[in-house]
Amino acid sequence: MRLPYALTSSQREAVAAIAEDLRQPVRMLRLLQGDVGSGKTVVALLAAAAVVEAGKQAALMAPTEILARQHIKTITPLAERAGLRVAILTGREKGKERREILARLEAGEIDFLVGTHALIQDDVIFKALALAVVDEQHRFGVRERLALTNKGEAVDVLVLERDADPAHAGADIFWRHGRLRAARKTGRPPADRNPHHIDEPPRRGDGRRRPRADRPAKLVYWICPLVEESEAEGTEHLTNATERFEKLRQRFGDKVGLVHGQMKGTEKDRVMAQFAAHEIGLLVATTVVEVGVDVPAATIMVIENAERFGLAQLHQLRGRIGRGSEASTCLLLYKEPLGEMSKARLKVIRETTDGFRIAEEDLKLRGEGDVLGIRQSGLPGYRIARSDVHAQLITQARDEALRIMKDNPKLKGERGEALRCLLYLYERDEAVPLIGAG
């Protein structure tokens, strides 16, 4: 597949590794980590092209409609050059349009289907699904990911993440249905991208740090934690997007726009299109723009109540800027005094843009959570170990698990039965069928 631009060395390395996995008789389960703006979508497209060339189909599932549509926007022109037939399926496609997409999919007339949770509905039938790409996989449940892979036979899985799980960093984890490679995608973003930096504006008397409110000359994101005023306990000092929009519009007029998760998809698309076209210069938003929004001309981001956002979320938000050739700036506004956790988060986000470093620090601050359950933070994450203390022992345990699954993947015999018993005692026997979902 020919591209209109050169891949980075990291992208070429990732594509080669994935292509090698796809050639193997063992089912692929690979984690591809790349910071925001590093070109993971193009790598996924090249992987899809490889399976399509073999007469199969591929699917990409994203957690939000905005992200799914951003993917299709990137993929479509490249796919058309290569003769790949692509389509999108979200909650917005309904009635006759949806029925036509499903009919073409089942007939094999769609090579690469991009979508949201809509992909895992019962009436979505692939003719020959061979590759499932899951973006932002931590935002899906294990069973949701499994539901997608069950729409084909021995489906290869490529998981895309901006921040790899430090517990899996650099590891090869073999399981019954295949292998998971948490392959760090190192290197810089494409050459036309510029890094951003964090700035602390002058302090005002109320203890909140604010930028000087000059007329916006560039495209600016202004992020707020709430959509509108809330009566919930602990939110009395949080800024809501609706109120901030009204105040900024009083100063800048029609150059200010508003987007949040309670708006209809078509309305969100309209506002985002206005922003990208420079019809509005300042976009007030909630975290609905956290993923899937690509406006390279946006160079400034203001995040209000930054102390209330998670570390990974702050990193993902600021990834909306620095996507073009101009230098960019992210301004964090926060209410003092800060708690110890908030201080630690803001310190890390100022010091680094390395997704692995941020993932490691986030793990230390939040805890590991439960990979097979719904709890995504908190300690202890392991029954008899902590990743920040027993990293070496965890590595040794992983190596032993690799050896077991290589020598006795079906856990047969006396030792196999003993291992099954251990899985049951530690309430991890459910992992055997579910781990294949990524």
Instruction: Spell out the domains of the chain, with CATH numbers in brackets.
Output: 9-184 (3.40.50.300), 196-352 (3.40.50.300), 391-437 (no CATH)
User: Which pLDDT score is estimated for 259?
Assistant: 92
Residue 393, CA atoms < 13 Å, CB-side half-sphere: 8
User: Helix, strand or coil for residue 300?
Assistant: strand
pLDDT of residue 374 exceeding 70: no
User: Which pLDDT score is estimated for 262?
Assistant: 87
**Percent over 70 (pLDDT), the chain:** 74
* More confident: 315 or 214: 315
Tokens standing for 230?
Answer: 């809330």
**Any idea what DSSP says for residue 139?**
G
Rounded (10°) angle between helices 40-53 and 9-23: 30
Contact 28, 157 (CB under 8 A): yes
* More confident: 335 or 5: 335
**Any idea what DSSP says for residue 253?**
G
Once rounded to an integer, what is the mean pLDDT over residues 300-314?
89
- Mean pLDDT for all residues in the chain: 78
* Omega prior to 380 cis, within 30 of 0: yes
DSSP per position, 22-89: HHSSSPEEEEEE--TTS-HHHHHHHHHHHHHHTT-EEEEE-SSHHHHHHHHHHHHHHHHHHT--EEEE
Cα angle 187-290-371, degrees, rounded to a multiple of 5:
75
User: Which pLDDT score is estimated for 381?
Assistant: 52
Contact 61, 88 (CB under 8 A): no
Q: Is 217 exposed, middle or buried (0-12, 13-18, 19+ CB in 10 A)?
A: exposed
Contact 33, 164 (CB under 8 A): yes
Torsion region of 112: left, alpha or beta (phi above 0 gives left; psi -120 to 50 gives alpha)? beta
Which of the four pLDDT bands, split at 50, 70 and 90, describes residue 152? very high
pLDDT of residue 397 exceeding 90: no
Distance CA 13, CA 34 (A): 12
**Any idea what DSSP says for residue 244?**
H
3-state secondary structure 145-198: HHHHHCCEEEEEEEEEECCCCHHHCCCEEEECCEEEEEEECCCCCCCCCCCEEE
Tokens standing for 182?
Answer: 């948490």
In sequence order, the 6+-apart residues with CB closer than 8 A to the CB of 82 are: 1, 2, 49
Contact 26, 179 (CB under 8 A): yes
Distance CA 262, CA 260 (A): 6
What tens digit of pLDDT does each residue of 28-85 get? 888 887 766 678 888 999 999 999 999 999 999 998 888 888 889 889 999 988 889 9
CA distances to 55, 205, 207, 228, 419 from 236, rounded to whole Å, are: 57, 18, 15, 11, 52
What's the Rg (C-alpha) of the chain?
23
Which residue has tokens 């992987």?
47
Tokens standing for 386?
Answer: 């902590």
Contact 43, 15 (CB under 8 A): yes
User: Which pLDDT score is estimated for 223?
Assistant: 94
Rounded (10°) angle between helices 355-366 and 311-318: 150
